[in-house]
Amino acid sequence: MVNHSRPLSVPEFVALKQAGRKITMLTAYDYPTARALDEAGVDSLLVGDTLGMVVQGRENTLGVRLEDIIYHAEMVSRAAQHALVVADMPFLSYQVSVPEAIANAGRILKETRCQAIKLEGGADQAATISALVGAGIPVMAHVGLRPQNVHQMGGYKVQRDAERLMNDATAAEQAGAFSIVLECIPRELARQITDRLSIPTIGIGAGADCDGQVLVTHDMLGLTSGHVPKFVKQYADLQTIIGDAARQYCQEVRDATFPAEEHGFR
């Protein structure tokens, strides 16, 4: 039974799989958005390194710094009253050495109040995952399309190597990961991985058979400029709403109809 008087814990998050209840996850990067998502009942908030693209306007996630993640995760963690908050480990914050990975992940937990970190990798990061878990740091793994490896992978492509992906997922679980994100994987393969693992799988472009789903909130709300991935469903068109509101404001200021009498003081 989930206690909604406090944030969801890692064991409670894992137990949702055994309970057969689908898990909801969305990205968050600031206090007001995180509070709105939390109050809406989202199970987990991911402070993703996608902030490099949707907040900072970069072409990929590689330029995001550890300090950026800490800055945004601190705001999100302060807003979350019910959701489990997970923060991404940015590029080269965990790949250089295991001690550096522990130090950097430890900084995130100490300085932000989030409950877990996420890192990209499976079998290749098993030793790091094991060391982080051994240090008391809950780890969510991430296999399939790995945006931090975009240059090595030759772009954002569907990943179809079933043997490698199954090996990555099982290695991450054996190393102690409490959950795994499956990104851009054919549905049937994602289902097989989900059935094989005892820990929750969180899909993004991996079909409906995963234990849960995650989307980038800016994509889901229609705030993303340019290409929108095939796996995204837009539940709102905030780009248009914001644009219309800003245009009306500009027109009223220029027409001197704003501020009106009721917006001033005597």
Cα separations in angstroms, 177 against 65, 89, 170, 219: 23, 14, 10, 27
In the prediction, which pLDDT does 116 show?
A: 98
pLDDT in tens, 83-119: 999 999 999 999 999 999 999 999 999 999 999 999 9
In the prediction, which pLDDT does 4 show?
A: 54
In the prediction, which pLDDT does 25 show?
A: 98
In the prediction, which pLDDT does 156 show?
A: 84
pLDDT in tens, 26-59: 999 999 999 999 999 999 999 999 999 999 999 9
Give every CB contact of residue 94 below 8 A, 6+ residues apart in sequence. 100, 101, 104, 105, 119, 125, 128
Residue 17 pLDDT class (50, 70, 90 cuts): very high
**Which residues participate in catalysis according to the annotation?**
183
In the prediction, which pLDDT does 1 show?
A: 44
Average of per-residue pLDDT across 120-145: 98
Average of per-residue pLDDT across 126-141: 98
Residue 68 pLDDT class (50, 70, 90 cuts): very high
- For residues 74 and 113, the answer to whether their CB atoms sit within 8 Å is yes
In the prediction, which pLDDT does 54 show?
A: 95
pLDDT in tens, 176-227: 999 999 999 999 999 999 999 999 999 999 999 999 999 999 999 999 877 8
